[in-house]
């Protein structure tokens, strides 16, 4: 996760994730929305992330744990419109 932003599949939807960096807790005022699956995990990193919601429905932040880090990484997540992946 060295890139500042990247595209991934999160809960069967295409999303853009912009990484802020590690922190010990989510930004103040954000509430836990859900735990979602993603496609950028590997044998050492879990394939889930937690999504937090701010004051508006579009204000979403993600939390993901990475191997070798004691604190989770946080960043902004935005879903592409009409990006549901068909199974």
pLDDT bin (cut points 50, 70, 90) of residue 69 is confident
Does the structure show a pLDDT above 80 at 3? no
pLDDT bin (cut points 50, 70, 90) of residue 39 is confident
Torsion of CA 4, 80, 37, 40, to 10 degrees: -40
The predicted model scores a pTM of 0.83
Number of domains in the chain: 1
Does the structure show a pLDDT above 70 at 7? yes
Which token pair is 55?
Answer: 């004051």
Do 37 and 51 contact (CB within 8 A), yes or no?
no
pLDDT bin (cut points 50, 70, 90) of residue 65 is confident
- Tens digits of per-residue pLDDT, 12-23? 899 999 999 889
Range of the domain at 10: 5-84
Quote the CA–CA distance of 69 and 46 in Å, as a whole number.
Answer: 13
Burial class (CB in 10 A: 0-12, 13-18, 19+), 45: middle
Identify how many contiguous H helices and E strands the chain contains and give both numbers: 0, 6
Lookup result for tokens 């295409």 = 14
Average pLDDT over residues 49-72: 88
């Amino acid at each position: 996760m060295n890139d500042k932003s990247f595209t991934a599949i999160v809960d069967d939807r295409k999303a853009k994730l912009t990484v802020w960096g590690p922190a010990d807790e989510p930004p103040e005022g954000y509430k836990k929305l859900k735990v979602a699956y993603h496609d950028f995990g590997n044998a050492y990193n879990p394939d889930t992330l937690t999504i937090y919601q701010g004051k508006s429905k579009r204000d979403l932040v993600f939390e993901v744990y990475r191997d070798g880090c004691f604190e989770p990484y946080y960043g902004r997540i935005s879903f592409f419109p009409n990006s549901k992946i068909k199974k």
